Structure 1
Amino acid sequence: MPGSPVAEELRPDDLRLACPPGTLDFETTEDVDDLDRVLGQDRALEALHLGIEIPHQGYNLYVLGSTGLGRRTMVNRLLREAAAGRPVPSDWCYINDFEAPHRPRALRLPPGLGQTLRRDMQQVMESIITALATAFQSEAYRAQAQEIHDDLKERDEHAFAALREKAEARNVALLRTPGGYTLAPMRDGEILSAEEFSKLPEGEQKATEEAVEELKQDLRQLIAQIPRWQREVRERQKELNLSVSSLTLDQHLGELRRKYEELPEVQRFIDAVREDLLENSEQIRSLGEDEQGGPNPAGQAARQLNRYKVNVLVDHAHHQGAPVIYEDNPTYQNLVGRVEHTVQYGTLVTDFTLIKAGALARANGGYVVLDVDRLLGHPFAWQALKRALRAHELRVESLETMLSLASTTTLEPEPIPLDLKVVLVGDRLLYYLLQEYDPEFGRLFKVAADFSEDARRDADATRLYARLIATQQRAGGLRPLTRDAVARVIEQAARRVSDGERLSLHLGSLDDLLREADYWAGKADSERVDEAHVDRAVDARIQRLSRIREDVHEAITRGIQLVDVDGDEVGQVNGLSVISLGEFSFGRPSRITATARLGDGEVVDVEREVELGGAIHSKGVLILSSYLAWRYSTDQPLSLSASLVFEQSYGPVEGDSASVAELCALLSVLAGVPVRQSLAVTGSVNQHGVVQAIGGINEKIEGFFDVCARRGLTGHQGVVMPASNRPHLMLRRDVVEAVRAGRFHVHAVSHVDQVAELLTGLSAGEADAEGRWRADSLNARVQARLSELARLRQAFSARGGGGDDGA
């Protein structure tokens, strides 16, 4: 098997891709134009334009990316531009349905007319109440009403007078009593008592009694006609009232009807109001009268006449273009709208005037922007949004009614047609979770605008980034930056993404750095921000967040956390890990130890056994046993039992970046060769021994450097890293200067043999055609030890009668 090339020691210039100030053709950012384009977000911009401009259903947007990339700023700018070229959408109102008051009707009006109609209706109703009260108290009305009553009285008197004359002609008197009318015998104009009547001749008595009975029939017929006469009077009175009311209403509604004659829906509403007012004119008239019967100002009465009001749900009177609504708190009620209630005699009641608009109604005809994490955090809001987008209509429905949790009076408002674009802003994890678990999501949100976290770093991008810095500096009202300061900010942008060949597009972090550098410039009474102020801002931020790092490194320096940085040990290697604490990450050296003995080929991960090791870490350990078997025991069973452990690790261990270090610890213990403790190792390994790239390379190197610097740099210390991580190097300047002075070293490797040679000082060797290694090589020692373990296992098996053949 051919050997691997030797490890490469990196030069200082390889450790940090600097931005020479001389490549920037300005003195300060005052000389730099604003950036007139979006840097590094061409993919996202194309998606945003597609989602905003395409008119078809389902092309709503999901804007992906981490917080601070300027997603919301970009989305708002594009939406404002698109909205400015679109027509102002209609106003929407709710009006009473007089036939079914629990189902208010939606009324669509040209923009700006909603409030006008509401005011007009309020003024008309106030005028109508006063006018009705005045009309029914006028002399003309009273004269006509009196005439109707006088007619009834005259008819009544005439009928009874005729009956009285008939009765008197037959010696019978018609008398009015408190209980009604009665008939009595009479002679010579005098009413006879019972005793006097009994003294009359029998023939006369009989004639009088017959006359009385006949007159009683006439009286009954007369009395029976009185209700009919009264009904006729009431009908005439009603016709009079209707005529007066109709004339009054037409006088006041006519002008309103003429004003909105081009709006058929408003005309129908006015007709319905007129009909209802006519039916309830008596009650309406009473509202305009005080207790003394005089006219009463209609303001208070009009407030009680909710049934005739216009509830303006959405008003676009002062808008230009389509609306762009951002709902910061997308609860169900804030999104869909709500039906409020008032307390009346201890009971919750409502009507259509208490319907309130939500964000979807306000954004109808335009755009609504929502934070998806907040949207999903509110119960029923996500389902309500999907339901509205599916049905293309907005149905205002109280949540308690939808869940059948309330028995109070409620409404069923007519749905409003919905035509808008929804823009969700969220992170990538939620996007892919919704794609996976919500089958409706992909049909409703067909456009994903994925904002890049970084951009390629080249000469053109560097110039554009300098313009971006100038733009953000002026937008924030900050001091101008010198050329050296801009170069330092650009380097920090590369450091943020841990890649010397990329630039961070995280505008939030850029703004924070510029503000803090401006602060330190102000403390120094400087009119410009220089490189030293940027360095001070970077160092101050690290200082604010690095207490735990200092505690960890101090524990190592004091010997509480056992990590050697010089000497040699068998089966012991310094591994490197990264601890992330929010916005701050730092490297931490850890001692990795290995033991090996006769066994059945198992490499035990102690972290996994105690459930501290994650799946990726466990995978990396399992690869080690595959590598050992493939490289050293292809023609014999792997007969060792090995254990690997992170010493003094009391929390979860995840990732495979320590697998190279773990493999070297195993090779050391198998070969019986000590390992240099002055070197720390990071990198993952595959089954063929190839060293692979890992994350956090800068923090890991700096973490070991800081520990060594605390104990004193000897010139022999350093870090072994994957060669494939070279483009990611953006190390601190003090680390680069230590390498330049020869006090620290960084080695790049591509195969585990290179790492083993650095750590042990022995050649890894080359295998011949039969897979045998040179006798004095490290790999030969490993192979010899594994062969010895295989022979021992075979001997034990033979001694036991072959009963443990492969266990």
Structure 2
Amino acid sequence: MTNLKELPVDKLRFNCDESLLGFETTANVPPLEDMIGQERAVKAVEFGLFTKNQGYNIFISGLVGTGKITYAKSSVSKVAKKESVPDDWCYVNNFENPGQPIAVSLPAGVGSVFRQDMQDLVETLKTDIPKVFSSDDYEQAKTKLVKGFQDKRAFILEEFNHYAEEQGIMPQWSTTGFAGVPINEGKPLTPEEYQKMDKEQRESIEQKLRAVHEKATEIVRRMQHLEREVRDQVKDLDRKIGLFAAGHFIDELKEKYGGYEEVVTYLEAVKQDVVKNINDFKPAQLDEETNPLMLFKRNVQDTIKTKYTVNLLVDNRDCEGAPVIVEINPTYYNLLGRVEYENRMGVVSTDYSMIKPGALHKANGGYLILNARDVLANMGAWEALKRVLKTRKLFIENLGEQYGMLAMASLKPETIPLNVKVILIGNPYIYYLMFNHDEDFRKLFKIHADFDVQMENNPENIKKLAAFISSTVEREHLKHFDKKAVARVVEYSCRLASSQKKLTTRFNEIVELLCEADAWATTESSSIINVSHINKAITEKRNRSNKYEERLQEMYVEGKFLIDTEDKKVGQVNGLAVMAVGEYSFGKPSRITANTYLGKSGVVNIERETKMSGTSHTKGVLILSGYLGEKYAQERPLTLTASLTFEQTYEGVDGDSASSTELYAILSSLSGLPLKQYIAVTGSVNQKGEIQPIGGATQKIEGFFSVCKAKGLNGEQGVMIPHQNVDELTLDDEVVEAVREGKFHIYPVKTIDEGIEILTGVEAGVVNSDGNYPEGSVHHLVNKKLNEYTDTLIKLGKSAEGETKVKV
């Protein structure tokens, strides 16, 4: 056979050169300030933050633990600090239409001053206006108006009474109106006396009564007119007094906020409303205070402060640069704000002072960071977010009204212009799902920053990883690491990345290792973390998760799972698979057997026939038919039936990583050459017989090694893997040491021919000039067996044809 080289020890894992680190402990390493291993994503985020055009919001995708959220917060905060602080936003009362509060923007910090000024104004008005109305001057002016009315009223009544008496009628006034009584000789005329009069006298009296009544009606109208005049005069006096008391205070504020047109307009509306409702500020009379029916008036006085207060919705006075808001619960109301309600004496009510801001209000003029999954999970949140980003207007609406579920009187606050950059964070699946199924998404989130799970394994990134360890030590208050411990962490990072040429960027798992190593160092009272603590943390973490792996190992040793690690068998080979239990994965050897016999069914996949085969596994088995046809059926038909199965497999089988293993079993069965049971196999194959790479090579090797170790190492055992997977090996110390001592072997192969030679110890064979394979080679024996099948089938066919002719 061809003498194939075994994989040397230095190819089994990446060994970090401690001389690259250049320090003794992480105490001498400056903490990491930049993001490592995500250059493409970092550039995308930087461009997205730089671009201010509409629609250039950012979606950061990546797997859990790659540092997306941490980087988003730090990078956005750096950019935001260099930007200007956005305006404050207030809602004030709309006196003409209270259901539509007015939005007012003021420079950062001015909003809180304006709110305080309005509070002070209300307190001043509530104190000074009652004083003015309690003054002697006001009382004298009011008394003068009232006396003037009374004098005019008395003159009119006296004039009327004189007229009535001239007509022989005694006037009588009551609450129901005027009643005239005829008089005779200065005395009221009784009904009896009136009846005794003749007709002419009675008609004369009635005529005089009608005249007096008409005159009385005219007098009533004149008095009502006088009352209206005096009321208007009193109101005008109150307005003048109120304007005198309140006007100069409001004018002072108008002058102070003269540069803000919206505030000046509002203050003028406040002045007019105060004058219009000046009675609300008047002191209550003694009888009013004790009258229970005046409760409403007292409530009105209590709401004066609310009526003129300023609802400071967004206060940016303490901001340094643009705001950066991280909303951890992005519900509809938490994003867009809400109008709250309260129960007042059994009646639900609200006003503009009960408008509460949402995350978009707080982030307006800055940045908002959201988790994409959380936004999608909350009813109405995603549609609302899209709407405000498209319209660039921020409105507050009741969610029930939005979906037509509830119709009730509510406020409709004035919309606020929106200028915010949204950063969504999620996994790649969510990004591509939204990109493909939501046409608005691609217009609104034009920047995609995709965080990788790997970075290049080079000296620069190794040093950055050491700096990351130093920053973690500082942030988590851990003990410092010596350089050997750091080197071991780098090697562990390679294992997590499943490549010798890569380091993982799933830093969350690195942080877990560092924290656990610190805990083990603490238990040993060590002041510094060394390589033994790292190894202890790795081992203990594995021991917490490998219960099922150990159970399987016991079953292999006890013979409940059939697996041979010695001798040779025909049509039988050990395949390798990977099982995952949560976050822990391990290799699981399985026996694969093949039986070949005369027939025309080709390769029969028993797993497929029992519906236990996945699509990838089925494809891998069908490829075997293509290989066999191309290799052995160029001149004669392929007359073969081969049954394949994974023994003792009771769950589904998927993946094509065992296709080369299955082909070896078929070739062994056809050639009659036994295969080495102490060499396990993994790798897929194409129709040309080329071995293709697979996943989980490290776990598969370690899984078979564990079985061999449990059953006894004999120095011949090993694993065949695709040559493309060599740079992905990150084997643990025990396997590496066994290879170094010659107790275990790893063979990289490129073709089926190389693999069959290792498994059988027989040359595969190459077609010579006459089109035949060398005598005794694997392919010669297989071809010979297939020719025998074909000849037998031809003979059987001729025999059956002869019998048919004799019968005829």
TM-score, reference length from structure 2: 0.93
Q: Which aligned pairs between 1:248-647 and structure 2 lie closer than 5 A?
A: 248-283=245-280, 285=282, 291-292=289-290, 301-303=301-303, 306-647=306-647
Distance 1:209 1:564, change over 3 A: closer
Offset from partner CA, 1:602-657 (integer Å, 9 cap, x none)? 42323233333222222211111111111111233333232222222222322211
Find out whether 1:32 has 2:39 as its counterpart.
no
1:388 match: secondary structure: helix
| Alpha-carbon distance in 2 for matches of 1:523, 1:50 | 47
Q: CA deviation at 1:512?
A: 1.8
Q: Give the share of equivalent positions with the same residue, in percent.
A: 37
| Alpha-carbon distance in 1 for matches of 2:90, 2:200 | 86
Distance 1:146 1:385, change over 3 A: same
Q: CA deviation at 1:59?
A: 1.2
Q: Which deviates more, 376-385 or 280-289?
A: 280-289
How many residues get paired?
Answer: 799
| Alpha-carbon distance in 1 for matches of 2:598, 2:682 | 28
| Alpha-carbon distance in 2 for matches of 1:460, 1:170 | 123
Structure 1 partner of 2:777: 777
Q: Which amino acid aligns with 2:757?
A: E
Q: Which amino acid aligns with 2:536?
A: R
Offset from partner CA, 1:136-190 (integer Å, 9 cap, x none)? 4443333333333333332222122122223333444334456543333434433
2:84 match: secondary structure: coil
Q: CA deviation at 1:5?
A: 6.3
1:467 match: secondary structure: helix
Structure 1 partner of 2:227: 230
Structure 1 partner of 2:16: 19
2:544 match: secondary structure: helix
Find out whether 1:741 has 2:744 as its counterpart.
no
Structure 1 partner of 2:151: 154
Q: CA deviation at 1:206?
A: 6.2
Contact 2:327 2:368 in 1 (8 A): yes
| Alpha-carbon distance in 1 for matches of 2:218, 2:21 | 118
Distance 1:223 1:102, change over 3 A: closer
Contact 1:565 1:678 in 2 (8 A): yes
Q: Which deviates more, 648-657 or 455-464?
A: 455-464
Contact 1:93 1:312 in 2 (8 A): yes
1:440 match: secondary structure: helix
Find out whether 1:102 has 2:99 as its counterpart.
yes
Q: Which amino acid aligns with 2:504?
A: S
Structure 2 partner of 1:805: none
Structure 2 partner of 1:51: 48
Q: CA deviation at 1:209?
A: 5.1
Structure 1 partner of 2:163: 166
| Alpha-carbon distance in 2 for matches of 1:25, 1:213 | 124
Distance 1:36 1:363, change over 3 A: closer
Q: CA deviation at 1:371?
A: 1.5
Contact 1:578 1:696 in 2 (8 A): yes
1:325 match: secondary structure: strand
Find out whether 1:65 has 2:72 as its counterpart.
no
Contact 1:573 1:592 in 2 (8 A): yes
Q: Which amino acid aligns with 2:556?
A: I
| Alpha-carbon distance in 2 for matches of 1:16, 1:202 | 140
Contact 1:498 1:729 in 2 (8 A): yes
2:219 match: secondary structure: helix
Q: CA deviation at 1:208?
A: 5.0
Q: Which amino acid aligns with 2:539?
A: D
| Alpha-carbon distance in 2 for matches of 1:22, 1:469 | 17
| Alpha-carbon distance in 2 for matches of 1:178, 1:14 | 117
Structure 2 partner of 1:759: 759
Offset from partner CA, 1:575-616 (integer Å, 9 cap, x none)? 111112333211111111222333334423232333332222
Q: Which deviates more, 177-186 or 792-801?
A: 792-801
Contact 1:453 1:506 in 2 (8 A): yes
Q: Which amino acid aligns with 1:247?
A: F
Contact 2:100 2:411 in 1 (8 A): yes
Q: Which amino acid aligns with 1:62?
A: F
Distance 1:148 1:78, change over 3 A: same
| Alpha-carbon distance in 2 for matches of 1:708, 1:471 | 42
Contact 1:148 1:237 in 2 (8 A): yes
Q: CA deviation at 1:282?
A: 3.4
Q: CA deviation at 1:50?
A: 0.6
Distance 1:663 1:259, change over 3 A: same
Structure 1 partner of 2:85: 88
| Alpha-carbon distance in 1 for matches of 2:359, 2:542 | 42
| Alpha-carbon distance in 2 for matches of 1:717, 1:57 | 64
| Alpha-carbon distance in 2 for matches of 1:502, 1:540 | 25
Q: CA deviation at 1:706?
A: 0.5
Q: Which amino acid aligns with 2:119?
A: Q
| Alpha-carbon distance in 1 for matches of 2:376, 2:598 | 56
Q: CA deviation at 1:200?
A: 7.0
Offset from partner CA, 1:9-62 (integer Å, 9 cap, x none)? 111122122123344433222333444543322222211211111111111111
TM-score, reference length from structure 1: 0.93
Contact 1:133 1:295 in 2 (8 A): no
| Alpha-carbon distance in 2 for matches of 1:443, 1:647 | 53
| Alpha-carbon distance in 2 for matches of 1:674, 1:431 | 52
| Alpha-carbon distance in 1 for matches of 2:192, 2:403 | 84
2:250 match: secondary structure: helix
Distance 1:307 1:640, change over 3 A: farther
Q: Which amino acid aligns with 1:435?
A: F
Contact 1:91 1:110 in 2 (8 A): yes
Contact 1:185 1:208 in 2 (8 A): yes
Structure 1 partner of 2:218: 221
Distance 1:450 1:216, change over 3 A: closer
Structure 1 partner of 2:243: 246
Offset from partner CA, 1:665-708 (integer Å, 9 cap, x none)? 11122222221110100111111111111111111100000010
Offset from partner CA, 1:188-219 (integer Å, 9 cap, x none)? 43334345566778877665554444333323
Distance 1:204 1:747, change over 3 A: closer
2:410 match: secondary structure: coil
| Alpha-carbon distance in 1 for matches of 2:284, 2:614 | 78
Contact 1:79 1:367 in 2 (8 A): yes
Q: Which deviates more, 790-799 or 253-262?
A: 790-799
Contact 2:334 2:359 in 1 (8 A): yes
Q: Which deviates more, 597-606 or 773-782?
A: 597-606
| Alpha-carbon distance in 2 for matches of 1:673, 1:229 | 130
| Alpha-carbon distance in 1 for matches of 2:17, 2:51 | 45
Structure 2 partner of 1:706: 706
| Alpha-carbon distance in 1 for matches of 2:285, 2:330 | 44
Structure 1 partner of 2:75: 78
CA RMSD in angstroms comes to 2.8
| Alpha-carbon distance in 2 for matches of 1:201, 1:432 | 112
1:495 match: secondary structure: helix
Structure 1 partner of 2:806: none
Q: Which deviates more, 787-796 or 674-683?
A: 787-796
Q: CA deviation at 1:743?
A: 0.9
Structure 1 partner of 2:659: 659
1:365 match: secondary structure: coil
Distance 1:250 1:504, change over 3 A: same
